[in-house]
Amino acid sequence: MQASGGGPYRHGPFYPRIGDAWHNPRPLAQPAQREPHLAASGLQHPARLIPLAFLAVIVLGTLLLMLPLARADAGSAPLLTALFTSVSAVCVTGLSTVDTPVYWSGFGQVVILGLFQVGGFGIMTGATLLGMLVMRRLRLGTRLVAQAETRSLGLGDVMAVLRLILTVTVAVEAVVAAVLALRLHYGYGESWGQALWNGIFQSVSAFNNAGFSTYSDSLMGFVADPLVVVPIMLAIVLGGLGFPVLFELRREHRRWVRWSVHTKITLLGSAILIFGGAAMILLYEYGNPGTLGPLEGGGKLLGALFHSVTARTAGFNTVDVGSMRVETLAVNYVLMFIGGGSAGTAGGIKVTTFFLLGFVVWAEIHAGRDTTAFRRRISVETQRQALTVVLLGVTVLAVATLLLLSVSEFPLHMLMFESISAFATVGLSTGITAELPPVGQSILIVLMFVGRVGTITVATALALRSRQTAYRYPEERPIVG
């Protein structure tokens, strides 16, 4: 069996690339050369369909949330409020300009849950699963679109991955919902109906890294309760690892030596970020009376660990982010910008992208001929893809932050926090989202959409076609540094 990039599968079913198909969409279009009808149907360039699919669901969600039935009070939600909430839910971000359990009715909350379930599951993956359940067979074109959302998988793996996505999603969300419902009923006196609904909502939101909550203060009331916090943390981590990693762990769980470079980087990098971030947060917030200060020793550890996990993409909070020290907010910048694993529900530039650049720097410092990771050579193309993703992300954030500075009076560190949180689809806030002017909220809407769909996917969708030159210019080496 050959990988889409041409090399053999040396480590499980995944070719060791960064992980996101929008890093290198060309292999997805190659089968169109043998299937001319794909060009007519628009599937020759599936990356162009992804933004349109997300936009379609966002529009539908906005219309549903503008119905009087969706509001807890009389009247309809304003267009900007409904649009902001719909984008935040579909892009599994969690930022909100209103208090979700107070502003939205039961119907509105169900709509929001449905939106972030669809967004986390993947628009194209969901459509393909529906076709599989109805027809039990998929056309080649539909598989190509599914591959665009399941990222680095080969066509032969798509069916297995779709089943895995469905199985893992249902299993994790059901187990976590059951645990939470039992705890909320017996530990906090909620009725069975209320406990079950809150458990389901928090569980689905956690696995999809959405960050929406049916509690006005998010999870601050459970900061020291491991029976609530730990299941949610596990759901966040599993959803944020990425389905290629879960797929490979299932197939090679007893032979870790055969894991792909992608899986090894994702697991090791995630562990470093989670525990390193928790240590930094604990160090800075240990005595802060507005965050971890009032908690006992075990509560401090749990609070720091949970925030490190959720800051990478989920958006729940068990402490007041607005009361954090500036140093802690800086730690959040890093965790949010990097995000989670590729092809999962996480946002950010992705763990593999960040650590691959670390390997590039390491190789350059040690004057290595090749960039290597776990005794495997990383291609120059992959290195360029990683650098492109990071630079595009930094550029988008710089422009957005400058625009926010020009339309609001909040300090730079708070606006930067909101920008990174929106772009990396995290959902944490220092409390200024609702106070931003309409133009500022519109900027966050664009950031959430671009961050979820992917900067390169957006660029590919806007491009007419990809052209390769038939010549190469002479090489020169400008002075660097």
Contact 62, 82 (CB under 8 A): yes
Lowest-pLDDT range of 39-53, 229-243, 398-412? 39-53
Region 6-21: what's the mean pLDDT? 38
| Start-to-end CA span in the chain (Å) | 44
Matching residue, tokens 């169109």:
32
Q: Give the mean model confidence (pLDDT) for residues 188-212.
A: 96
Q: What per-residue string of b and e applies to 365-374 under the rule 16 or more CB within 10 Å gives b?
A: eeeeeebebb
What does the block give as tokens for 455?
A: 């900067």
Bridge partners (DSSP) listed for residue 373: 376
State the residue for tokens 């670390």: 358
Give the pLDDT band (50/70/90) at residue 454.
Answer: confident
- Give the mean model confidence (pLDDT) for residues 250-273: 86
d(CA 210, CA 173): 13
**Which DSSP letter does residue 14 get?**
S
Q: Domain spans of the chain?
A: 21-462
- Among the ranges given (59-63, 240-244, 459-463), the one the predictor scored with the smallest mean pLDDT: 459-463
Report d(CA 312, CA 333) in Å as an integer. Answer: 9
pLDDT at 408 over 80: yes
The gap from C-alpha 91 to its chain's centroid, in whole angstroms, comes to 8
- Measured in whole angstroms, the distance separating CA 238 from the mean position of its chain's CA atoms is 12
* Cβ burial 384-420 (10 Å sphere, 16+ → b, else e): ebbeebbebbeebbeebbebbbeebebeeebbbbbbb
Residues 6+ apart with CB under 8 A from 192: 181, 185
Between residues 348 and 242, which one has the greater pLDDT? 348
Confidence of residue 13 (pLDDT cuts 50, 70, 90): very low
SS3 220: helix
Q: CB neighbours (10 Å) of residue 346?
A: 29
- pLDDT digits over 336-385, tens only? 999 998 877 888 999 999 999 999 999 988 877 888 888 889 888 888 88
Q: How many CB atoms lie within 10 A of CB 257?
A: 8
* pLDDT of 23 higher than 60: no
Lowest mean per-residue pLDDT among 45-59, 89-103, 174-188, 295-309: 45-59
Q: Provide the β-strand partners of residue 2.
A: 8
pLDDT at 12 over 50: no
**Host H or E run for residue 10:** none
Q: What is the CB-side half-sphere exposure of residue 420 using CA atoms within 13 A? A: 24
476: its two tokens: 């020169």
* 0.85 exceeded by pTM: no
Q: HSE on the CB side for 376, CA within 13 Å?
A: 22
What confidence score (pLDDT) does residue 51 get?
Answer: 80
The pLDDT of residue 10 is 40
Find the angle CA(415)-CA(421)-CA(424) to the nearest 5 degrees.
135
- Number of helical (H) and strand (E) elements in the chain, helices listed first: 20, 2
The residue with greater pLDDT, 137 or 93, is 93
pLDDT at residue 298 greater than cutoff 90? yes
